[in-house]
Amino acid sequence: MTHTESPPPPRGVTVIETALETMPLSPGVYRMLDAKGDALYVGKARALKKRVTSYTQIARLPERLRRMVSETVSMEIVTTHTEAEALLLEANLIKRLKPRYNIVLRDDKSYPWLLLTEDVAYPQITKHRGARARKGSYYGPFASAWAVNQTVTAMQRVFLLRSCADTVFSNRSRPCLLHQIKRCSAPCVGRISEADYAELVAQAKAFLGGKASAVQQKLATEMEQAAEVLEFERAAAIRDRIRGLTHVQGTGVINPESIGDADVVAGWQAAGQTCVQVFFIRGGRNNGNRAFFPTHTKAEETPEVLAAFLAQFYDDKPPPPLVLLSHDLPEQELIAEALSLKAQTFGTGRKVEVATPKRGEKRAVMEHAETNAREALERKLAETAGQGKLLDATGELFGLPARPERIEVYDNSHIMGTNAYGVMIVAGPEGFTKQAYRKFSIRGPIAPGDDFAMMKEVLERRFGRALKENPDPDSTPPDWPDIVLIDGGAGQLSATQAVLTDLGIDDIKLVAIAKGVDRNAGREWFHTEGRAAFQLPPRDPVLYFLQRLRDEAHRFAITTHRAGRSKALVTSELDEIGGIGPSRKRALLNHFGSARGVKNAGLADLEATPGISKAMAKLVYAHFHPA
């Protein structure tokens, strides 16, 4: 009787089993890392050992997770006190590391807030972004700068608060235009007392805090009192404020009365993609909305996407006391607990409720958000479909077996060889993939204006690194292009082909795009291996598409070159002198006007420079006048 040995487990399973030997049962977060040390997946667990053990049962895993396990070469864990803390840490790591196998929210934009300052006698109302360094009351967030600007304008009209900077306020000698159009009470020139202005501020805070009806009732009383004592001009001014307040409040789903401070989060899924629409409701007013498109696999359902979205969305902003959802979540109570912890870290210390409304005004608001999510996703899918047709036509034009998923375009920028940069831009089914753009500062040595040598360096660095990080000859490196497009003619094509041949790369379609003799856009010549140079009809959509790719690369190259040149301009020979830091450099440049002025200065002049000691003056003089 013969016994056949079972095959050894895959490498990833062995790595996980080794990690399990010392893994605790406590709550925490685990990270699966690839050969480069990059995170493949970040997960949280109530009991780490139990959760991670499931990855060793390969037969029960879907194909996506099998592939993830096969790429795993190491694991890292962080233990936490509770599962809610683990959820917050997981969201923070996913947002920062952007693992390939997680649902990832790509949202790098900061949100504007409304600031009512409290460190001056006459508070200012203004838009604010960034750290809350200034003392004051902050209201928000708002979905966009437009939304917060609209609110500032409304607050000026209703409460006559100043919006000018403190430097402008302290130097006014007469009222500005805002006072003339009845949007400011002109405290800068004493047109209102400090006590009366403080009353306006108190009313504004009450309004922003959701007490608009109380403010409106108080204004109505003041208007009647003014009319009774025949102060008709004052009564008319209050009437205008009441009208403005009524206009700002609005009604219905746009400004729901039954919702104080809440975020309305609705998800809509179609064609394997999800749009998450968020409405910011504060004080019963709609502060605007924004659409998000988290990256995920087609297998993830809307509740899973929403759960991942919430944790990452509130990673860097305080959650409101109420979050309304379009779908019930599998771990809704845990998410509510985690958001309550997050609220405490921002100093609000309030409990966060996560609910799915079924009826009433809250449900009407949710349906409105769902409609916006559906329409935003439909627009995106329509745009993607158009992009897909262009990619299909491009693949057919250049004889590819399938639609190109990644097109890389390269360009250079320099002035007579100085401040030379090469750039790479990337396009695919979603349009331009700007997070994949790359800049290459040319290291040389390269003769001035040698575009061939610059392109050679860029391509060697880009593809040489990719091959080094993926040494397996039987597998394709991640982010491998289907088409490489370069600006140039037959010469650039041959040079590029030679570089890739030297690297052993033969599975990328190379295309060079060159303007004709007349240099007119629309008459470009295309060069590719195995085919005579050709032109496309002037109105061909693929021609426009390829022109747009080339122009985007050119724009990025020029922008990169300008940024590098500007950086170089602030450096000078002074940076080569030991002991000359930013403050001393600034002192010398301010005194002599330029590095050349410092170079031509005598020792006595250097010693007379404010902030420069005699010893430092001798050091500077010796640098420019060696013995």
* Average pLDDT, 10 consecutive residues per value, the chain (627 residues): 55 92 94 92 95 93 90 94 94 91 82 89 89 85 83 83 88 88 90 91 84 74 79 76 62 60 93 92 85 90 95 91 94 94 82 93 91 90 85 94 94 68 90 89 74 86 84 74 92 91 90 74 84 88 90 88 58 69 78 75 84 86 74
Q: Which of 45, 57, 47 is nearest to 10 (CA)?
A: 57
Domain with CATH 1.10.150.20 in the chain: 573-624
Q: Which of 242, 149, 161 is nearest to 204 (CA)?
A: 161
Q: Which of 358, 376, 374 is nearest to 366 (CA)?
A: 358
Which phi-psi region, left, alpha or beta, contains residue 33 (left: φ > 0; alpha: ψ -120 to 50)? beta
- Asked whether the bond before 481 is cis by omega within 30 degrees of 0, the reply is no
Domain with CATH 3.40.1440.10 in the chain: 11-97
The CATH superfamily holding the domain 573-624 is: 5' to 3' exonuclease, C-terminal subdomain (1.10.150.20)
Residue 522: the pLDDT is 63
Is it true that domain 11-97 has CATH number 2.170.190.11? Answer: no
pLDDT tens, 504-524?
888 899 999 987 655 556 678
What six digits make up the tokens of 514?
């060159």
* Dihedral angle sign, alpha carbons of residues 134, 139, 144, 146: negative
Domain with CATH 3.30.420.340 in the chain: 407-568
| CATH topology for the 262-379 domain | Nucleotidyltransferase; domain 5 (3.30.420)
Residue 1: the pLDDT is 46
Query: Do 526 and 487 form a contact (C-beta atoms < 8 A)?
Result: no
Q: Which residues of 450-469 are buried (b: 16+ CB within 10 A; e: fewer)?
A: bbbbbbbbbbebbbeebeee
List all residues 6 or more positions away from 299 whose beta carbon is below 8 Å from its beta carbon: 62, 64
Which phi-psi region, left, alpha or beta, contains residue 274 (left: φ > 0; alpha: ψ -120 to 50)? beta
Residue 148: the pLDDT is 83
Q: Which of 144, 430, 432, 436 is nearest to 293 (CA)?
A: 430
Residue 517: the pLDDT is 58
List all residues 6 or more positions away from 151 whose beta carbon is below 8 Å from its beta carbon: 114, 142, 285, 287
- The label of the residue with tokens 């056949």 reads 4
Residue 528: the pLDDT is 93
pLDDT tens, 225-238?
877 778 777 777 77
The CATH superfamily holding the domain 407-568 is: UvrC, RNAse H endonuclease domain (3.30.420.340)
Q: What letter would DSSP give residue 546?
A: H
Domain with CATH 3.30.420.10 in the chain: 262-379
Q: Which of 251, 275, 280 is nearest to 264 (CA)?
A: 280
